[in-house]
Amino acid sequence: MSSSSMLFRGGRGIRLLAFQYFPTLTTASASSSIRIVSFSSYPYPTSYKIFSSNHCTFQNIFTLSLTSPSGCGVVGCSKMASAAGGEDGHFKLSETSELIIKKGDITRWFVDGASDAIVNPANQRMLGGGGADGAIHRAAGAELREACYKVPEVQPGVRCPTGEARITLGFKLPASRVIHTVGPIYDTDKDPKASLSSAYKNSLTVAKENNIKYIAFPSISCGVYGYPFEEAATVAISTVKEYANDIKEVHFVLFADDIYNIWLNKAKELLQA
Ligand code: AR6
């Protein structure tokens, strides 16, 4: 979403009100004391999460003390700036879908806490690990590991084969869901391009099946699994272009400057031709 947004919990569930200009509320700009609240409609319509504002860098953040008509309170602000600096890259994937490339920490990303998901570059056991996987598990809390543990094994020690995807709740993460996928280990996979493409495609498929409208990917396989960045960017962006369909926004949230620059240049090459 290019605008900030607010969530109200009303008598009949969640309403997301997006607004771009809210002149009466734009006077305060301090971000240090603001609570960020995101409501989750899945699986329990009344559940909600509260975060300190420090988990995100906000631009033009404002204080709110609003009450919804039903008397249920406050609200969230979902605008996430590129925490590490640099402009976000915006690209059109289709008439209804946008690609956004930004620097940052994927564990802090969210849009509305209800129809958003981050993708975890996991391993086949799906019980946590290093890199982004470790960071996501730490931020989500122990319940994420418990949820992963309940995902049935398809072979001993394999909950998610390479190229497939599974979904859990996000627990303490600001995003509502985590889609776990396993990218290829570049040096040992028989067809790393196909496996990496499957990881992106199946993550998007699982997202659509779960009514996810906003999804954030890291650069799958570009860390411990050793995938060359340039080729990974080509596979990632071309696969997302092909399969994004009903997803409103696909974000790449990239930790490292070099990967961010490669992704941005590749998106210009593939999507602005
Ligand atoms: N936000 C965004 N990107 C990140 C973050 C973060 N918080 N942390 C790291 N990255 P990796 P893989 C980037 O190694 O190569 C784990 O142990 C990182 O800079 O996390 O798919 C799993 O359990 C890199 O560009 O994933 C598996 O065993 C990218 O995320 C194995 O690593 C992916 O790096 C998966 O390896």
Closest ligand 1 atom to Cα of 219: 29
Pocket, ligand 1, Cβ cutoff 6 A: 105-107, 121-123, 129-133, 135, 183, 218-225, 253, 255-256, 259
The confidence score (pLDDT) of residue 87 equals: 77
Question: What domains are defined for the chain?
Answer: 89-272 (3.40.220.10)
Evaluate if residue 248 carries a pLDDT over 80: yes
- CA 104/CA 83 separation, integer angstroms: 5
Rounded to the nearest integer, the mean pLDDT of the chain is: 77
CA distance 5 to 40: 15
DSSP, collapsed to helix, strand or coil, labels residue 267 as helix
Pairwise CA distance, residues 129 & 110, whole Å: 22
Q: Which residue has the higher pLDDT, 56 or 236?
A: 236
DSSP H or E segment with residue 5: strand 4-10
Least trusted range by pLDDT, from 15-29, 73-87, 243-257: 15-29
Question: pLDDT value at position 86?
Answer: 58
pLDDT exceeds cutoff 70 at 77: no
Q: If you average pLDDT over residues 237-256, what whole number do you get?
A: 97
Q: Which two tokens stand for residue 250?
A: 């696909």
| Closest ligand 1 atom to 106 CA | 1
| pLDDT at 48 (0 to 100) | 38
Which tokens belong to 28?
């305060």
pLDDT > 90 in the chain, percent: 67
> Between residues 220 and 8, which one has the greater pLDDT?
220
- pLDDT-above-70 percentage for the chain: 68
Whole-number Å distance between alpha carbons of 150 and 143: 11
Tally the residues of the chain: 273
Set 133, 191, 246, 258: catalytic member: 133
* 144 in Cβ contact with 136 (< 8 Å): yes
- Residue pLDDT, tens place only, 162-207: 999 999 999 999 999 999 999 999 999 999 999 999 999 999 999 9
DSSP characters over 1-31? --SEEEEEEETTEEEEEEES--GGG-S----
**pLDDT exceeds 50 at position 46:** no
pLDDT for residue 53 is more than 90: no
pTM for the complete prediction? 0.76
Place of tokens 């409609």: 41
| pLDDT value of residue 58 | 34
